[in-house]
Amino acid sequence: MSRTATSSAPLFRMPAEWEPHEATWLAWPHHRGDWPGKFPPIPWVYAEIVRHLHTREKVYLLVNDAKAEATVRRILKQNAVDLEQVRFFHVPTDRVWIRDYGPIAARNSAGKRTLLHWQFHAWAKYDNWHADTAVPEQIAHEVKLPLRRPKRKGKRIVLEGGSIDVDGEGTLLTTEECLLSDVQERNPGLSREDYEAIFAEYLGIAKVLWLGNGIAGDDTHGHVDDLARFVAPGKVVLAVEGNAADSNYRPLQENLDRLRTMKDARGRKLEVIPLPMPAPIVFAGQRLPASYANFYIANGKVLVPTFNDVQDRKALGILAECFPHHEVVGIHAVDLVWGLGTLHCMTQQLIH
């Protein structure tokens, strides 16, 4: 279902991810409990990601303290990272998923950058989130940008960055499972219309495209960045499952049916590009949220999670066609996804 938001003039506009960045925010991994039994390779995966990003834009890296910074510097040097392109911030975090707790950068009506500080409660699943929810204020102080805390009906709004995706021209993708179900109690009492008004006011959204459910194994209950992503105005890639016996098959087909009937904020019928799913990845009896849709768009480069799967090459080819002016790079994510997230979950762009 798609809806057109009705609101007064928006206060802000959230640019699309492919618009120019000043930098990419990352939080260095340190919470071993997010990768039980698999933590040792994770810092090296992060170093590989920094190595790819720093050739295209600055990397703004959160570390807990000076001791952690010294360790990270050694790891990055071993991976041929030019540390002149990395800026370290001593900002304590609980975990690495800065897409969900970091500030969303938007432009106000005068075109000036503003950071939006949405409330974060660790998906109503974990107790250790108080450091994470303080990150936007600390970041705003460090980079000297104004900070705004979105509210509705007098209450702060809980919203994770991975739950939305925008085209920069007034259209937003999200899921009913994430925002409208009662499973995670993000914002009790808020309706579909309330969310649409919030998105209109704070993100400049004129049209919300509501999908149904997210993928199996998603710890966040339906984040759209594992499911469907804008790759250009009017153009969306959507994860699809070819195996009718897989639990993802029916929900993803239903989302495909929805998207094919939708138009964006400018009245364009969406071009929907199917993106395959890898074979299920199960570790310690748990289905993991492995999806090629969790890619990250940097300046001139797209980083795509890969899973040692026969579909890796096909997914990389599809995204290369979607981004003909970008270098599309696969990042091995079989260990990373054990933390229940991959590349998009761990990054947050700071617009230029």
The set of residues, in sequence order, having a beta carbon less than 8 Å from that of 257 and lying 6+ positions away, is none
Dist. CA 300–CA 18, nearest whole Å? 8
Which single residue is written with the structure tokens 């949220």? 289
Measured CA to CA, the distance from residue 21 to residue 43 in angstroms comes to 24
Q: Give the whole-number percent of the chain exceeding pLDDT 90.
A: 92
Which residues constitute the domain of residue 124? 2-351
Please state the pTM of the whole predicted model: 0.96
Catalytic residue chosen out of the listed positions 345, 346, 347, 348? 345
pLDDT in tens, 260-276: 999 999 999 999 999 99
345 assigned to active site: yes
Check residue 277 and report its DSSP letter.
P
Residue 2: per-residue pLDDT: 63
User: Which two tokens mark 229?
Assistant: 């992503």
Mention every residue, 6+ apart, whose C-beta is less than 8 A from residue 11: 108, 109, 148, 201, 202
Residue 340: DSSP 8-state: T
> What value does the mean pLDDT of the chain take?
95
Residue 183's pLDDT band, with cuts at 50, 70 and 90, is low
Of 226, 250, 230, which Cα lies nearest the Cα of 239?
226
Give the length of the chain.
Answer: 352
**In contact, 111 and 69? CB cutoff 8 Å:** no
- Note the pLDDT of residue 10: 78
Q: What is the pLDDT of residue 75?
A: 98
CATH number of the domain where residue 303 is located: 3.75.10.10
Residue 182 has pLDDT above 90, yes or no: no
pLDDT digits (tens, 9 = 90+) for 218-247: 999 999 999 999 999 999 999 999 999 999
What 8-state DSSP symbol labels residue 288? Answer: -
How does residue 97 score in pLDDT terms, banded at 50, 70 and 90? very high
Domain count, the chain: 1
More confident residue, 2 or 92: 92
